[in-house]
Amino acid sequence: MSYLYKNLFIITLMTGTLISISSESWLGVWIGLEMNLLSIIPLMNNSKDLKSTEASLKYFIVQAMASMILLMGFLINTIKINLPNNLLLENLPSSIITTSLMIKTGAAPFHFWFPEVMEGLNWMNALIMLTWQKIAPMTIIMYTHSNEILITTVIMFSVITGGLMGINQTSLRKIMSYSSINHIGWMMAALLFTETLWKWYFLIYSAMNMAIIWMLSKFNISSIPQLMAMSKNNPKMKTFFMFNFFSLGGLPPFIGFLPKWLTIQVMVLNEMYLTGAMMIIITLITLYFYMRITMPLITLSSSSSSLNLSNQQFKSKNMMSLNSILLTGLLFSTMAFNWI
């Protein structure tokens, strides 16, 4: 019975997102976002786990507040038609709507809720939060953005916050949260220029998260010490973990470098030199905390471990296929671009 209601809420979750991104009216956008919110709360909530209950309550309060701000933006946008032309009123509705959608996405400086909610979720719900829940708000921002100064400010805040706040974390859920905030900045920069680039960035980012969280969920790992202990007896899985974190950080020759490369190219073509340079510099900081995770995996080779794991546990062909595609994808993508 539990699987039945979970499948039902997953369907309504996806339906709410699709309604939001395909609606032609603000009312339809709001209804889709509310369907999405009311569908994910039962998926997050687990009566046997107080952390998940707390996380679902925090998420509901923040999203309800963001929905209220969104409705206020819709109302101001409606009534400004009957008011005299005013530059402040002209930009105010779009700024309020964009701000509320940034809160829903978890972009900095509106990220206060995101790591705390992530900390209380299981890995599958965390994957939904990192990927699917960003589709509707970011798509609506792409449709409606008119205040480029606000979006550029959010880009810089997200990249800097995601880079600096992830340095001293030991919880892998919080590391993935701050990594997501950093990537939100890059995705915002992509959608500022072209819809296609944002789609490719989001797809590659989602695939990288899927590969990492698949392994974390399979081995029930939630902190860096657990990852170190597990990796001692599992060289194959250790290798995939290292390469996937390198890819998530945007290190060539892995597929995670491709969307950042294309985003930098588009920003240079649009003469956003300072913003692009800052984003590249902060990305080096994110690479540092990915390296902090992966370097001990390289150097530790002891066979002693507090966890009873063996190489035989890492046999999933689907997982290995996904990892192989992600780790060699840049080579094939470059070849495809050259052929085109």
Buried b (16+ CB within 10 A) or exposed e, 266-284: bbeeeebeebbeebeebbe
Rounded to 10°, the helix 273-299/224-231 angle is: 50
User: Is 108:158 a contact under the CB 8 Å cutoff?
Assistant: yes
Q: What is the pLDDT along the chain (340 residues), one digit of tens a residue?
A: 567 888 899 999 999 999 999 998 889 999 999 999 999 999 998 767 888 999 999 999 999 999 999 999 988 888 876 666 665 667 788 889 999 999 999 998 999 999 999 999 999 999 999 999 999 999 999 888 778 889 999 999 999 999 999 888 889 999 999 999 999 999 999 998 888 999 999 999 999 999 899 889 988 889 888 888 877 777 777 888 888 888 898 888 888 899 999 999 999 999 899 999 999 999 888 888 888 888 777 776 544 444 444 444 455 666 666 666 666 666 666 655 555 4
Q: Where are the domains of the chain?
A: 124-339
What is the value of pTM for the model shown?
Answer: 0.89
Determine phi and psi for 171, rounding to 5 degrees.
-75, 125
- Residue with the two structure tokens 């890059």: 186
Concatenate the DSSP letters of all residues of 48-89 into one string: T-HHHHHHHHHHHHHHHHHHHHHHHHHHHHHHGGGS---HHH
> Residue 313 carries which DSSP code?
G
